[in-house]
Amino acid sequence: MGSRYIILVEGDSQRGSRMAPEEEVAALTEQAILLRFSNLQISVFTAETTLVLKIPGGGLLVGHLFTRNGKRFSDGAFLPAFGCHAECLKHLFDQCWGEYLLIWPNAGEECGFSVTRDPSGAVPCVYSLDDGRGFVTSDISLATALGRYRRRVDWDAVALELNYSHWTSQHTALLGVKELLPGCSLHIRRSGSTTGLDWSPWTCVARGNRHTEPEAAAAEVRSTVQSVVGAWADVDRSILLELSGGLDSSIIAACLSDTAADVECCTLVSPQPDADERHYASLAANRLGVELRTKTLDVGLASFDFPPPPYLVRPRINALQYAINEATEQVCDEHGMASYYSGGGGDTVFGLLGNASPAADAFRERGLRHGMAAIRDLSELHGCTVWKAGRLTLRKLTRPPKPPWTSDASFLDPSAITATPDPHPWLDGATDALPGDRERIATLAGTSVFREGAARGQRRYLRLPLLSQPVLESCLRVPSWMAIRGGKNRAVARSAFADKLPMAIHARRSKGDFLQYCGAVFKRRRSHMLDFLLTGELEARGLLDGQSLTRFVASTPRPRDETFIRIFDLCVIENWLRHQS
């Protein structure tokens, strides 16, 4: 579901063979996509169910908007009149938050218009412009249905996908289609188009904005997360909470207990023991006062050769995600819930770093005493000696930072090995950044995969409250060394909700996963996966090393060898490619 829209952009060139505007209006109206605004250059269409707000001064906002205290603007809150796009944007980023796309027609000699995507990235935005004409949309299939775009694979982008799994930049894997990234604006004029970054996570981690006391940090994190979850619960009312049994989704459950929403809780289990989180999930559900629904992910439910959702402009959904989407949709259908809630992104937001960066940050930011305390916390957190923690911290302090994306060329032909991807705009300005800040923000830039891989969000709203702008800002203000205080990961978040979480979850350090489930899928389907790859588009283009693939699939996996996950990643790309013609 989400906010579905398309903006048709008219340039000065000839229309060619595309539909006339009247036919496009009729075609979209048949899909319950209605005309909301039109001038000589643009026509804005949105789904009948998509919320649209008129902004004083001439703007249009697609999606949901709240005040900082969680009051919804459709419920009587008012905005002042703005004289220009920049003035409106500053107010929205400073005083408001939500899931939205701001559209602002510009007056002046060149006219044109600007589009801004909010920092959460919850409302998708891709675009294609040629000689001033084209579209901006949440769903590329709307443009293809109108004849405004014909799907063509960008093979250079595919090569990057092969080398850098889940890389994120403005480039998509479709030729001529770009993504407007979260916190950025697209400015379209007769003379051409430009993009710019308007919200940056680096503002939050700047020295004058950072917390200095853990207690104040915990109080702000608690207040912000509660406010955001409460605001969304007031919108959605009917919620299926996806409980993993971990800290992040349990915090969402704790916040929902203070709302009037109708909540059902669901946890997914597999025949393999590593993914059975029922004990912890039931504790969170009991605290919320609801029954825990359990859905088993049978190995046969996983698929690698399914039709991907037509909105995808990159390969994103793997066999496990397909199974999770299918199972969760079944539960939602059975109980008639209107939206999904997930703790997705919480590890990153709450500062879970699995290396020595937090201690290195403490040394650089607070000096020797705090640095030594952070080394002791690091030692306790990872169960290693203080000497080892200190050695790893020194390495972090003295070695140059690693690039944000890690290359993996396994099972690829040398011709498929490429240069590094374009940097995400959120990574600009990281030259002299603290190691932990750099790594957290780089990981945040990749959290779009949580939404892109969740096909269940097509039919219902998928809320990821922990990726909302106020939560991002509050948590980025927490220094990374605070997040390991006392030898606990995500320590500030734990402290913030200590009285609202079951004791076993508050103290928990381990985490379930579906690695054994994926291993079972591979064991059952590996010959089919090999055939799928060796008879597909990647092989036809000479991008795969078929011999190494064949040898690996025929071999007996070594204990704890996770190389088979790479086969899943390749199948994701191959499956997407087969459905782009």
DSSP string over 303-361: -SSSPPPTT-SS----HHHHHHHHHHHHHHHHHT-SEEE--TTHHHHTT---SSHHHHH
Give 363's contacts (C-beta < 8 A, 6+ positions apart).
370, 371, 374, 393, 397
Last residue within a domain, chosen from 171, 199, 227:
199
Cα separation, 146 vs 150, in Å, equals 10
Strand duo 262-269 + 292-296: pairing: parallel
Last residue within a domain, chosen from 199, 222, 247:
199
Give 356's contacts (C-beta < 8 A, 6+ positions apart).
378, 389, 392, 393, 395, 396
One-letter amino acid identity for 28?
L
pLDDT of the residue at 308: 95
Whether 263 and 183 map to the same domain: the answer is no
Last residue within a domain, chosen from 461, 485, 507:
507
The reply to whether 416 falls in a domain is: no
Whether 122 and 210 map to the same domain: the answer is no
How far is CA 420 from each of CA 44, 158, 294, 400, 441, rounded to the nearest angstrom?
36, 13, 42, 17, 18
pLDDT tens profile 228-272: 999 999 999 899 999 998 999 999 999 999 999 999 999 999 888
pLDDT of the residue at 119: 97
The reply to whether 420 falls in a domain is: no
pLDDT of the residue at 192: 83
Q: Which residue in this structure is represented by tokens 């009247």?
A: 22
Closest alpha carbon to 350 in 224, 465, 490, 214: 490
Whether 473 and 573 map to the same domain: the answer is no
Alpha helices in 535-563 (DSSP H): 537-540, 546-554
Whether 403 and 278 map to the same domain: the answer is no
CB 371 within 8 A of CB 394: no
CB 254 within 8 A of CB 497: yes
Return the CATH number at 333: 3.40.50.620
CB atoms under 10 Å from CB of 459, counted, come to 13
CB 190 within 8 A of CB 12: yes
Whether 247 and 285 map to the same domain: the answer is yes
Whether 536 and 440 map to the same domain: the answer is no
Whether 433 and 554 map to the same domain: the answer is no
Half-sphere exposure of 156 (CA within 13 A, CB side): 7
The reply to whether 237 falls in a domain is: yes
Cα separation, 290 vs 264, in Å, equals 7
Whether 191 and 74 map to the same domain: the answer is yes
In the predicted model, residues of the chain with pLDDT beneath 70 are 1, 12-20, 75-77, 107-111, 429
The reply to whether 304 falls in a domain is: no
pLDDT of the residue at 401: 86
Whether 370 and 478 map to the same domain: the answer is no
Q: Which two tokens stand for residue 16?
A: 């060619």
CB atoms under 10 Å from CB of 409, counted, come to 13
Cα separation, 315 vs 322, in Å, equals 13
Cα separation, 259 vs 339, in Å, equals 15
Cα separation, 121 vs 316, in Å, equals 16
Q: Which domain holds residue 540?
A: 515-577
Whether 186 and 225 map to the same domain: the answer is no
pLDDT of the residue at 429: 66
Cα separation, 226 vs 230, in Å, equals 6
Q: Which two tokens stand for residue 288?
A: 């919320």
Strand duo 184-189 + 33-38: pairing: unpaired
The reply to whether 302 falls in a domain is: no
How far is CA 97 from each of CA 100, 210, 211, 222, 487, rounded to the nearest angstrom?
9, 20, 21, 17, 33
pLDDT of the residue at 449: 86
pLDDT of the residue at 418: 79
pLDDT of the residue at 517: 92
Q: Which two tokens stand for residue 335?
A: 């109980």
Cα separation, 19 vs 42, in Å, equals 15
Domains in the chain, number: 4
pLDDT of the residue at 421: 85
CB 259 within 8 A of CB 233: yes
Whether 74 and 188 map to the same domain: the answer is yes
The reply to whether 412 falls in a domain is: no
Q: Counting Cβ atoms within 10 Å, is residue 414 exposed (0-12), middle (13-18) or buried (19+)?
A: exposed
Cα separation, 263 vs 250, in Å, equals 13
The reply to whether 571 falls in a domain is: yes
The reply to whether 367 falls in a domain is: yes
Whether 398 and 277 map to the same domain: the answer is no
Half-sphere exposure of 423 (CA within 13 A, CB side): 13
CB atoms under 10 Å from CB of 189, counted, come to 17
